[in-house]
Amino acid sequence: MTNSKEDDEKPTEIPASITSFLMNDILFPGLMEPYMQQVNEKLGDPNLLEWVTEVLSNRIVGEDLNKLTLFLIALSYKTDDPQGVIFTGPPAIGKSHLARNVLRLFPNVINLTRITRAVLDRLEVNFNNYILYISELGGQEQATPTMRVMLSEGELRLATTTMENGKILPKVIETTGKPVYVTTTTQMIVERQLASRTWMLNLDVTKEQTQHIHRYQARKAASVNKDEYNQDEMVLRCLLYELEPHKILIPYAEKLSEIFPFGEIQARRDFLRLLALIKCVTLIFQKQRALVESNSEKVLLANLTDLAYALKLVKPILFTTLYALPRKAFEVLDVFIDSNGAEYTAKDMAREVRLSQSRIRRIMNGLVDRAFLYKDDSRKPHKYSWTEKKLEEPCILQTHDLKDFFTREEFEYWFDSNKCTYSEACSDIYGTYIHPCTPYALGKVHTIENKLKTTVKTEKKPARLCINETHDLTETKTPPKLPERTAGHTPIDEKVKAVVALKGTHVDRCARCQKIEVLHWQIETFKGEWGHVCNDCGGLFQDILRNRVP
């Protein structure tokens, strides 16, 4: 990775035939000058990522976690570990809209709609520090095997022959570099080897999100809209130029490895992805992080707030990436687990989860491939049954106090072991940088309340620990018809009678903490009140129920 900012933004190895397809024009210093004061202010703002989310929200309704995750993944082009992402979901859900409106802010996006089998092998270019956006996964099907190698190894070597002076001579063509890779697909199950190399992100399909989108579309239709960048978008574009590539060290990485899932082979790559995401958060906060010298090299140190941000983003998608399956697959698996060994055909399961038979068949075959289901193909229609394999409980999402998770003593031991020195006048690096007491955009970052969705035990179903635990709302009292204001806007006390997981998530105001969050849970009080709450508040209410004296 080059250390030159100019080379970082536009490497000369990419030929003009490729750079002509860059999504955005390069910003030169003269165009950036009017925005630099705001850029420097934002780089020193502890709530920087919250502001980034607000800027992205100008053109992308909802999807706060997905759009911020994509923004940070795209930023990985400035790190030593570029990432990839595949957006999955049905047609017209807004996958391309989200991708394009995040990537339009970056200076180095190569946007292609289709690539052939041989093109990557024969380009003879360096893809380092670039973002490769292929609008639809189907546009690269022929080149997928080659793409997998490039994303893993960062280089392609094609041995071929060439004709020179009437003679056939051997020749090796090299395409080097690892780009940030972004694409979208309507496929429910993505080819596993490619999926294992990328983040798998699913968009919100709830009715509430559709309503939000309709309102946004109506506002656009009723006003004059300009496609050019607004003030905040220009500031953010300039900020990306100002971020310097740095080597980043994560002092608590070994502690993380002790609590990360390890039952699946895929966990090896998922752990690396979590570390890469932490580095991206550290990179954008580089003006607020410790720059130290380790073994004669300048490095940035990731702090515990960077971990809190990364876990906030990773939590909803951990299982989808760990098993390379869509969220709906875990709902299907729940049906099998709850059925006490019953067999299902695709038609039976389609009725249970309300999907088409063809989509259900692809999902169940994916679960067969992951060893969750057994397929009896000796007769038709084929029948599927549960193999008794369960989802691994990802301990990394358990509650940890940040200070207790990585103590001052552990940091000082790591600091000395890595022969680190700090030139600035600071007597307390741990208290100033690693575990600061400043409030951040995540709210209470002193504790990571990223608990798994733990269902409250009922007479009908035993409690299981599962990140995608869902229950039919008909098991509890059917909520009354919503008034003009949603129940989620009414504060609810802690006299809770029941906590039930929603079948779909949506973004709204939490009924307890009043923050705009992704809401996962419905709560019901003894007074007959009900409302939707975020995952953190849902976990709190579950603790209250478990600890309540009968």
The total of other beta-carbon atoms located within 10 Å of residue 383's CB is 17
Q: Which domain holds residue 197?
A: 5-242
Tell me, yes or no, whether 115 and 222 share the same domain: yes
Strand 447-448 and strand 496-509: the pairing is unpaired
Tell me, yes or no, whether 435 and 487 share the same domain: no
Residue 465 lies in a domain: no
* C-alpha closest to that of 187 among 114, 100, 95: 95
Whether 494 and 455 have beta carbons less than 8 Å apart is answered as no
Residue 542 lies in a domain: yes
Please tell me the distance from the alpha carbon of residue 505 to that of residue 516, in angstroms, as a whole number: 13
Tell me, yes or no, whether 227 and 97 share the same domain: yes
Residue 453 lies in a domain: no
Residue 463 lies in a domain: no
Give the amino acid at 415: F
Q: Which residue has the higher pLDDT, 357 or 40?
A: 40
* C-alpha closest to that of 149 among 185, 117, 190, 111: 117
Please tell me the distance from the alpha carbon of residue 364 to that of residue 330, in angstroms, as a whole number: 10
Tell me, yes or no, whether 257 and 236 share the same domain: no
Average pLDDT over residues 435-458: 38
Residue 443 lies in a domain: yes
- The answer on pLDDT for 506 being more than 50 is yes
The DSSP symbol for 354 reads: T
Strand 516-525 and strand 496-509: the pairing is antiparallel
Q: Which residue has the higher pLDDT, 353 or 53?
A: 53
Given 386, 413, 431, which residue is the final one in a domain? 386
Given 340, 363, 386, which residue is the final one in a domain? 386
Tell me, yes or no, whether 253 and 141 share the same domain: no
Residue 197 lies in a domain: yes
Residue 340 lies in a domain: yes
- The answer on pLDDT for 480 being more than 60 is no
- The answer on pLDDT for 482 being more than 60 is no
Number of structural domains in the chain: 4
- Arithmetic mean of pLDDT over the chain: 75
Tell me, yes or no, whether 115 and 147 share the same domain: yes
The kind and range of the H/E element at 525 are strand 516-525
Tell me, yes or no, whether 88 and 180 share the same domain: yes
- The answer on pLDDT for 491 being more than 50 is no
pLDDT of residue 392: 61
Average pLDDT over residues 371-400: 74
Residue 14: band (very low, low, confident or very high) from pLDDT cuts 50, 70, 90:
low
Tell me, yes or no, whether 224 and 337 share the same domain: no
Strand 420-421 and strand 291-294: the pairing is antiparallel
CATH of residue 360: 1.10.10.10
- The answer on pLDDT for 129 being more than 80 is yes
The alpha helices in 126-230, defined as continuous H runs, are 144-153, 192-195, 207-221
Tell me, yes or no, whether 184 and 238 share the same domain: yes
Range of weakest confidence among 220-224, 242-246, 312-316, 398-402 = 398-402
pLDDT of residue 460: 33
pLDDT of residue 470: 32
Please tell me the distance from the alpha carbon of residue 447 to that of residue 399, in angstroms, as a whole number: 7
**In Å, how far are 67, 247, 533, 536 from 278, measured between CA atoms?**
16, 12, 27, 21
Please tell me the distance from the alpha carbon of residue 472 to that of residue 432, in angstroms, as a whole number: 47
Residue 205: band (very low, low, confident or very high) from pLDDT cuts 50, 70, 90:
confident
> Quick one: what percent of the chain has pLDDT higher than 90?
12
Tell me, yes or no, whether 377 and 407 share the same domain: no
Tell me, yes or no, whether 125 and 159 share the same domain: yes
Residue 239: band (very low, low, confident or very high) from pLDDT cuts 50, 70, 90:
very high
Given 223, 242, 261, which residue is the final one in a domain? 242
- The answer on pLDDT for 1 being more than 50 is no
Whether 187 and 140 have beta carbons less than 8 Å apart is answered as no
Average pLDDT over residues 131-152: 78
Scan for tokens 């506002």, then name that residue: 219
Residue 275 lies in a domain: yes
pLDDT of residue 474: 32
The kind and range of the H/E element at 84 are strand 84-88
Average pLDDT over residues 32-49: 91
- The answer on pLDDT for 3 being more than 70 is no
CATH of residue 210: 3.40.50.300
Tell me, yes or no, whether 225 and 271 share the same domain: no
